[in-house]
Amino acid sequence: MSTAPTPPVPVLSDGIVSLRPLAERDIPEIVAGCQDPQVATWTEVPSPYARADAEHFLRERSSGGSQAHLPTWAITVVPEDTWVGTIDLRPDGSRGADIGYLLAAHARRAGHMVRAIRLVSAWGFSALGLQVITWRAVVGNDASLHAARRAGFQVPSHAFPRYLVHRGERADCWIGTLAPEDLAAAVRSAEGRRQYLGPELTRRELDVLGLLARGQANRTIAIGLGISENTVKNHVRSILEKLQATSRSEAVVTALRLGIVDLPS
């Protein structure tokens, strides 16, 4: 079964980590970050890594076709807007996707990657209707394994012998999967269900927000709730304002973090 066209890459933020589309201004930071020996050891980026490699990557991931089928974000840390890493989803056309990520050395060990994984995964489940996201890493990449598990990925304790081809050689790897309920459980475990202290959402706004979390369009929400499409738009506008979100996807991510809604299981 094929999925609907991927929506444009939105800005996603939890107030600490912010994800945005890649930009030409990121090239110097991408070059420096990808020259780190750990990146060369555990990923498939060119090694040695030069400016031309970053320019090619940016062209590849910024084109309309790539944005539609291979959504990719620059990871930044609020309040700065400087690239500190990259994260992407690779939808398989059957309501699943692989996830890939890397983080610059100076931004590690602060929990930023876990936050980025959760933001992207929540968007994938709500906006793309994904049922599962798969993570893979070469055995020995403990930092990636730690981030995946903290984000909620279910990773067996055993490795898969010679499953991956890594830099031309067969390599043992770890494989993990994340379903919507895994992500919701991980968020509740890490942060608890916190009381929302901002402007109060009405009962109808909560209904609309719950359907947004299930990836439903305005027209579908209107039919399901027995209200007009214009009324749904007004509710969405109010939700965005109250949650201080700039997009429907960001509103869902914020609501999940605050414990206002659950992801569909």
> pLDDT tens across 240-251, in order?
988 888 888 888
Question: Which residues make Cβ contacts (< 8 Å) with residue 39, sequence separation at least 6?
Answer: 33, 45, 49, 102
Tokens read off for 142? 């403990």
| Domain match, 111 and 232 both | no
Give DSSP secondary structure letters for 140-179. Answer: T-HHHHHHHHHHT-B--SS-EEEEEEETTEEEEEEEEEE-
pLDDT at 2: 47
Is 4 within a domain? no
Number of domains in the chain: 2
pLDDT at residue 237 is higher than 90: yes
| Domain match, 117 and 52 both | yes
Higher-confidence position of 199 and 248: 248
pLDDT at residue 180 is higher than 70: yes
| Domain match, 170 and 97 both | yes
Question: Mean pLDDT, the chain, as a whole number?
Answer: 88
Bridge partner residues of 76 (DSSP): 18
pLDDT at residue 186 is higher than 90: no
CA distance 61 to 105: 22
pTM above threshold 0.85: no
Q: In what order do the strands lie in the sheet with 132-138?
A: 12-13, 17-20, 72-77, 85-91, 96-103, 132-138, 169-178, 160-166
Cβ-in-10-Å burial (0-12, 13-18, 19+) of 134 comes to: middle
The residue segments making up the domain with residue 178 are 12-192
Is 43 within a domain? yes
**Of 162, 192, 222, which closes a domain?**
192
pLDDT at 71: 94
Tokens read off for 260? 């206002």
Tokens read off for 233? 């738009």
